[in-house]
Structure 1
Amino acid sequence: MSDNTALEDPALRQRLPVTAVFGLKAGRGLDWPRLWLLQHRELARLRGPRIAGHVAGALLALVMFADDLPLPLMACWVTWIAVSLYIYTRRDAYILEIDEPALTVREARSHLLGSIMLGVGWASLMPLLHLVAGSEMAIRGLVLGAGIAIGGVVMMGVVPLSAYAFITFLAAGAATGFWLAGHDDMIVFVAFFTFFAYGSVWIRATDFLRFAVAEGLLLEKTHTVSLLLREFGENEADWLWQIDPSRRVRSASPRFAYAMGSTAAELERQPFFSLIAGNMAETDPAAMRLRDLADHIKSRESFSNLLVQVEVRGERRWWELSGTPIVGEKGEYLGYRGVGSDVTAQRNSSDKIAYLARYDTLTALPNRLMLHEALNAAMDEARESRRRCAFLMVDLDRFKAVNDSLGHHIGDKLLEQVSRRLRQVVGEADICGRLGGDEFGIVLHEVRDYGEVDAIACRVIERLSQPYEVDNHTLFVGASAGSALAPRDGKTVDELMRNADLALYRAKDDGRGVHFAYQPSLHADAEERRQLEFSLRKALERDELMLNFQPVVDAKTEKVVSFEALVRWHSPEHGLVSPAKFIPVAEDTRLIVPIGTWVMQNACREATLWPDHVKVNVNVSPEQLVQPDFVESVVEALSHSGLDPHRLEIEVTESIFLNDTEVARVALSKVMALGCQVALDDFGTGYSSLGYLRKLQFSTIKVDRSFVQGAAQGSSESLAIVRAVVAMAQSLEMKTTAEGVETEEEAKLVRDMGCDRIQGFHFGRPMTSVDACALFDRDYQALRA
């Protein structure tokens, strides 16, 4: 596990309770008594500089004001400062000497008395100077007090309660001095200074606490790894193996040497594959397995439970190997290390045959048969103990596109990585398996409620949605999940699995990447979807579809440069149906092709009513793009409407690079040859290839609204992505359109970042063709105001 993973722990993202930071009451989720001890020890560590600062300040005060303040008064003031320092530092000594690993709430406030006394001592200096020596001396005392306050922020800020007490009294003294001097306006300055001092203390304290939490998490993970290694060392069934970048044995363990029938000294620096290949011929099936192992090592990817046949001292043995590349502190490749075991006996036994009958050979996960048996057992246990179990069904999003574009070999390797991640997420008490294809199932033996199932499902989706590295390809496949809870959602295994499948279908229908729990209404939803499909097939015949248009404006002038055509459906049976609801149905049933043709024709016809410089943007689905007559349909729409081809901009999403890539490229090239322009929509959310950006010469890259909103919220990743897209588009002589701009602040942000065009509710919601034409009959700025 990397350091970054440790620092992304939920404990670091939670808001720190104010009362806990101040040491008034322990908060939840963190070991606050231990953190209080770390705070006070850090404060005690700085006691030397802190004492020196106060002593130096006191001596400076004696020098500056010896002639202005009576000697008895000065002596009393110095004595007060000295006693305060003694009380304060005595607590420091106690903190450094105690052996307990934590502080109580009372001990966490132990510095408060000393802080108050020091604050009162320094706070009294300015009023005393004013009363005795006059306003000019009081102002000098204020300057000295400001220096002491800054030192207090730096030296005491790690314990905010003590720092706030000291600063508060110091600020009160300064304000009193100004009030006595008749400079009431300067009290605002004191308040301003105090406000920033408070903020600095809070930032210093919380930063220290978060660093302490992160350090504790890393230490805990180190201890966990050490424990696992110790347990592994006590397990005589397995052994460690390690090779250097040249694939020579390094640091051979005694048990590995025993498995090789040799000694550790004899194996050192020997070629690893020569040792285990023996006299195998290249055509030997066992050599094929070894080549698979070599491929894993060559591609520097981790692998788990890889079964290979080796030849040791002329004898064939079955080994099960797991390994991971070794990376140095600077990211350099240092070789491989892993674990192995001799599974020859298991391989040749009936137990191994039973294992293969119940496990998926590709992923080594339980297959559908074993999942069915495990779920049946879990349901029986739940009935007997009057508890609940659950079945979670997980489906990979966009996996088919990976198979189609990169081949089944890459798809298989991707599934292997998915299976490894599933094992990491699912606990030991539960079972995860592969149902078939890119569909997986998880049997949760004991759950309290839906919330617990949802938490597990969210962890699975988050883990499976992280990028994969497969044979030098970076792949992104999300995951969707559906679940059913027994006995509430099913009395039998088949019923529970069917209902979990319905929930999964709903999750994929809702936009993918989410978890959905089974609800009885899903049966009704399935029926509604069937009826929706039936009505949609008649929508074109009944002329139920309509177009809306959303303006796209120039970023600098805020004048309309184009409209995006958006299809809407008003059904007599279902009312006004959301595009998010009927577009997926249209894509699944291939009705998107005739609907897309209708949109193209009507959008071009409407665009002829606008000024000649205004374009129309028409979205084209991947299904339309791969149709043999797609280019002819564009030509027909242009010719029937009389629209200049330069005023038509076709928008495609990045998914065109996954299915029938060459067909899509040829079709778009022909459309460009007509004079039409092509925009890449929702850029950054899919799998676009920079090579195709160069070859196809897109006219526009549309930055997805998620990045625009993320940038507006200060997300460093979103800001970097938007800047990178703008820079890349400029270098390729393409325009950039920022989508989803809803406020003036967002508009200014994307304009300052170099976007050429802006689209979003801030400049106009989707409107009818009549309203779109009306925009050109009046001043657009006045309309937006």
Structure 2
Amino acid sequence: MTSQTTSQFARPRIDARALLGLYDPADTTDWGPIRAAQLHAGSQLALFMLAANVIGASLVTMILAPLVPLWQLAGWSALVAAAGAAVAFRRLARRHREAVTASLSDVRDTLFDGIALGAVWSIPPLAFGHLVDASAALGLWIVLSLLMTASAVAMAALPMATITFVSITGAALVTTLSLIASPMLAAASALFTVLLVMATFARGKALVVIRAGEIAIADRDETLSLLLRETEREGEADWLWEIDAQRRVARANPRFSKSLGVDPKTINGTPFLQVLAGPSWEDGNFAPGLRELAEKLKTREPFHDLLLPVLVSGEERWWEMSASPRFDESGSFIGFRGVGSDVTEARKSADQISKMARFDTLTGLPNRLLLNETLARAMAEAEKWGSRCAFMMIDLDRFKAVNDTLGHPVGDRLLMRVSERLKQLMSENEMVGRLGGDEFAVVVRDATDTAGIERLAQAIIDTVSRPYEIDQNTLFIGASVGLAIGPRDGRTAEMLIRSADLALYRSKDSGGGAYHSYEPQLHMAAEERRVLEIALRSAVENGEMHLNYQPVVLADSGTLRGFEALLRWTHPEFGVVSPAKFVPLAEDARLIPAIGEWVLRTACQEAAKWDSDIRVAVNVSPEQLHSPAFATMVAQALAQSGLPAERLELEVTESVFMREGTQAIHVLEKVLELGVKLSLDDFGTGYSSLGYLAHTRFSTIKIDRSFVQGASKGTKEAIAIIRAVVALADSLGMATTAEGVETEEEHHMVQRLGCTKVQGYYFGRPLPVQEARALAIRASSGETAAA
């Protein structure tokens, strides 16, 4: 090992004046971290010294209590406690406990701690020493000696303060002992004080030596790390670089020069920033990363993983730079030394990952994450400048029918076409993105023009609603829009999205193809809906549901032919809840299957008690018919109740046949095999496809009350529709039931038009179970149901 290397690992020499904090040496040792270690070590035993001071004051008080007035001892004890607490709290300060470097003045300030404590502890021997006897003098000497020893052991890390305290207290004790005791005891005390001072200094020096060695080893580790990184990673784009005090390239590293595509000799002595800036050096159009690097070099601050773009052979590359300032033996700044890495590929990968995380893979539009981030920034800007922003939620109408009938590939292509149209409507002020499925959203950064925002919403609806030609199919969809203005409709991005969602729900609820702005009552309606949903989940178990039965009679004679079971809900707090409110809620919450099963079983049990051939009709939702187990459940309900299958009639709507690949037809076939009758409800108000009439054996077609009311007013279209439905039913061997007959005139009208059965308030409102049972008994006796 060379002499130079040996000297690097030699034990560092510690200047006594620097150790005490008297001056800052100009050697290569960095005393900032050493001083911070001294202060930190002092703070670790600060509470111990505070306790030692309090206990020592208590012992001295006990010794002097018979000889000195108590008020004097109490005042002195309070002074000791105050001085000890002040010193302890100052040493426990955050800046001392967390500091990684400390100044010379920080260590010098500890001198006042030693002076303060030494002064208060000099009071007992100097002020009260002449009052004590030999026994008390010995006790006082023992207590003060123990306190001095504790200080020398615990606070040696701060030798200036500790030596000051020990010296002042020891001098006071020696003086007192020389006056009231033997000179021999005073000499022994003086010797003890000197030994404590020497021990304190030696212990403090040992701490500094250890800390200085740790710092030196850390410096050598850093240098070795750089060297190893340079030599062991030959095939990678890492290199060392070095500049002088004038920020010029010094001893250009070959790999650094190769990364720049230049000869090392040509850049030696060239300004470092000029080398990195390339062509932009002349026009001064520097990248932010280069400006930050220039500032770090100017202020001589170390930096780590600083990212900046560099133009190499006309191609933009990204470099990551780290460096620390260098100083010579006299403390003069001599430049920087650091390491650089080419992280271009890693940055490209990170950018790609970031893009994938923020953009929809199907449409290329911003996804939910990027929309949320953009909206949050727009909200912050609106709050900062007192302006407004907006958020629109867009839901495609009838898109699910396209997916179900033509398949997901066509649906995906339709979504891409929709996204293209939406992008064409956007300006620099708006961002459109896809939330997922068939939901899109628009962030409007500046929404001060409310009329302009509403025009954009209507333009979105009109544009999306134009027909699409995809795979030789002409597709028609629509759009519903919910609009919320921030911060009026929400103080945060989450609240604004929620408000727009409520507005969208209102647009969908009103039939779609429209936009609505958020209103406070929408939140109230949503809260009511949430509360009702919670209550609805336990309504059946709590016995809050019941069935009413509306009579169905023959059109010509008024003879009772059956009842339609109608579900009713009476909540103990909300009262009677309208079916128009809770049935759609049950469908959205997927509660219909359980509630529907209860309705079917209850209706069958009640109908079995009617001693006649009167039927009971039960409405069945599409959700129930899409379950393969539905037919089994019907069979169980019939078997458990004892109701003949031909007396049960299930009413279904046209919407049940609109789902592609549905099991509904197969389920209905199994139900028909049981002998159960089927009735097609609300015919003519939905899709009105005749195909499923030919494939499913319905026994009855029900004509919606809207046609009956229209015909009663003489509307030709309504009359023609009723006649057509009756003719169609007759040709297929089906009966027809006219709903909503409320007057005698309407009864005679539908009778003339050929309807087989009628149902409505004219023949009876929905009846409680007891009244329906009584009516069934009368009907079996030959009475009619007409009012």
- TM bucket (normalised to shorter chain) is 0.3 to 0.5
**TM-score, scaled to structure 1:** 0.46
User: With structure 2 as the length reference, what TM-score do the two structures score?
Assistant: 0.46
